[in-house]
């Protein structure tokens, strides 16, 4: 039986973050999406996903969802048949970095959540009708639907997260790291370093894509996921 594919979203995102990938891959295998709204700690989100998932899954996590995927790998490695990490990092923020979220929280609580999105995801106001403008509009619509309360909880998760480098070093399943080569939020060097932590991980840097490669170059991300899904399983030691 095909291992179910579970998509875990980034902060302020719903299933539309993976819309192109879900549309393509759901015709070939069991696919599900898990919203992340079960508390203010990474452990709470991971426990909620595990409680709803079958015995073994293939995890695809972007941003915050990637952190949840790593936490699941830490807590229950036997349940993770494969792991794909998109636009995320295992590193813990320093105290200074955690403070950068506070002005965004102030803006969100003041009714300006849509203004937070460009800064949070490294997007800019593009020319009308351009692909970048469409991505930004979609990201802003997802943010408005997620809402301020969930945004605050998700920010607290990010601020409290722990370093996951040791978890990745112990990974014994087929792993994939995807990052945008033009990502202004997480430098490509950090993707390269993260892939180096994981035994036999594959790294796909998407040329021209930023922090939202699943929407900025959906075909490339889908192709990378297909290659990852075709890789043979790793025998656990």
CB 71 within 8 A of CB 191: no
Burial of 73 (C-beta count, 10 Å sphere; 0-12/13-18/19+): buried
pLDDT at 92: 79
Residue 121 to residues 23, 201, 232, 237, Cα–Cα distance (Å): 23, 25, 34, 38
**Residue ranges matching CATH 3.40.50.1820 in the chain:** 5-91+162-230
Report, as ranges of residue numbers, the positions in the chain whose pLDDT lies below 50: 1, 127, 129
Cα separation, 76 vs 155, in Å, equals 24
The model carries a pTM of 0.94
Q: What is the pLDDT of residues 51-106, one digit of tens each?
A: 999 999 999 999 999 999 999 999 999 999 999 999 999 987 766 677 888 999 99
Q: Which two tokens stand for residue 184?
A: 């202004």
Per DSSP, the residues of 53-93 read S-SSEEEEEETHHHHHHHHHHHH-GGGEEEEEEES---PPP
pLDDT at 96: 61
Q: Which two tokens stand for residue 16?
A: 């539309």
Cα separation, 72 vs 201, in Å, equals 18
- What letter does residue 12 receive in the DSSP assignment? T
pLDDT at 124: 76
Taking alpha carbons only, the member of 224, 211, 219, 217 closest to residue 182 is: 211
Inter-helix orientation angle 148-160/113-121, to 10°: 30
Cα separation, 12 vs 117, in Å, equals 8
CATH 3.40.50.1820, domain 5-91+162-230, yes or no: yes
The number of angstroms, rounded, from the C-alpha of 211 to the middle of its chain's C-alpha atoms is 10
pLDDT at 235: 60
Q: Within 10 Å of residue 198's Cβ, how many Cβ atoms?
A: 25
Q: Which two tokens stand for residue 39?
A: 């508390």
Handedness of CA 229, 49, 204, 198 (dihedral sign): negative
């Amino acid at each position: 039986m095909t291992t179910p594919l579970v998509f875990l979203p980034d902060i302020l995102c719903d299933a539309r973050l993976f819309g192109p990938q879900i549309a393509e891959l759901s015709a070939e295998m069991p696919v599900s999406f898990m919203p992340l709204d079960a508390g203010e700690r990474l452990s709470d989100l991971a426990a909620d996903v595990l409680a709803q998932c079958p015995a073994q899954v293939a995890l695809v996590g972007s941003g915050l969802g990637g952190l949840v995927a790593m936490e699941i790998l830490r807590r229950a490695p036997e349940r993770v048949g494969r792991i794909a990490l998109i636009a995320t990092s295992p590193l813990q923020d320093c105290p200074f970095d955690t403070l950068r979220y506070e002005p965004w929280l102030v803006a969100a609580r003041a009714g300006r959540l849509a203004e937070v999105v460009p800064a949070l995801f490294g997007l800019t106001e593009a020319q009308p009708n351009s692909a970048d403008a469409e991505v930004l509009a979609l990201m802003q619509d997802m943010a408005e639907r997620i809402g301020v309360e969930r945004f605050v909880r998700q920010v607290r998760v990010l601020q409290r997260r722990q370093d996951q480098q040791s978890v990745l070093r112990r990974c014994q399943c087929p792993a994939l790291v995807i990052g945008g080569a033009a990502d202004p939020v997480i430098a490509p060097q950090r993707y390269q370093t993260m892939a180096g932590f994981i035994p036999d991980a594959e790294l796909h840097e998407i040329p021209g894509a930023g922090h939202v490669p699943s929407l900025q170059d959906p075909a490339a991300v889908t192709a990378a996921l297909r290659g990852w899904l075709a890789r043979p399983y790793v025998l656990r030691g």
